Amino acid sequence: MDRRQFVTRVAGSGLLVATAAFAAGCTTTGTKAGTDAAAQRREIDAGVDGALNRLYSSVKSAQELGNRAQGILVFPRVLSGGLVIGGEYGDGALRSKGATHGYYRTIAGSIGLTAGGQSRSVIIMFMTPEAYDKFVQSKGWTVGADASVALAKVGANGTIDTVTAQQPVIAFVQTNAGAMVDVSLNGAKISKLDI
């Protein structure tokens, strides 16, 4: 499994604090996992399928929203962690009408009360043609700056809040166990991958 490591160092009074090691591993049967773009695309697509299946099986109205969406950007495995200074990283794919229309990477950083690490999936649905076109035509897209993203609020009955369901861009964040989490995505930078 190939690993990409991002290490942020803060030097203060001669003390070096290393934080945040992230992995976007690529598991394939071949020996060129890191350099084989086709294998990387297959792995991302398999992760996207799994993340969407988890979402649709755990949130009743998510599939209906997905069917209405102009496009769905899925990051099946976003790794985050750190100690005071944190960050997150993940690769995903943009789906529209059941087909993949590009591969993307998300990267974000934070400073504050950060300790530990976790893995989660992030699914962003573009509900209007305008929101979808703006994302596709961008050279780099930042959550909160280029578009306001409504984080889906799921009720006890497993349905999405009706106000959220009417927003132009809706995001779902799930742990790998399937539990929905309430986090801010603002500041996450998303850019297209050339694979």
User: What pLDDT does 84 receive?
Assistant: 66
Residue 109 lies in a domain: yes
Residue 131 within a domain:
yes
Residue 111: what pLDDT? Answer: 64
Q: Is residue 106 part of a domain?
A: yes
41 touches 28 (CB < 8 A): no
Reading the block at residue 84, the tokens are 């005071």
Does residue 82 belong to any structural domain of this protein? yes
The answer to whether residues 37 and 103 touch, using CB atoms and an 8 Å cutoff, is no
Q: Is the pTM of this model over 0.75?
A: no
**Maximum CA extent, the chain:** 55
Determine the Cα–Cα distance for residues 114 and 117; give it in Å rounded to an integer: 9
Indicate the number of domains in the chain.
1
Whether residue 5 lies inside any domain: the answer is no
**Residues β-bridged to residue 180:** 174
Residue 77 belongs to some domain of the structure: yes
Per-residue model confidence (pLDDT) at position 9 = 29
Listed in sequence order, the residues at least 6 apart from 1 whose beta carbon sits closer than 8 Å to its beta carbon are 23, 25, 26, 27, 33
- The pLDDT of residue 59: 86
Residue 70 lies in a domain: yes
Residue 179, domain extent = 35-193
Cα-Cα-Cα-Cα dihedral sign, residues 75, 162, 136, 81 = negative
Residues contacting 25, CB < 8 A, separation 6+: 1, 2, 3
140 lies in a domain? Answer: yes
Residues of the chain below pLDDT 50: 1-31, 33
Give the E-state strand segments of 97-181 in sequence order.
Answer: 99-126, 141-142, 150-151, 169-175
Distance separating alpha carbons of residues 75 and 73, to the nearest angstrom: 7
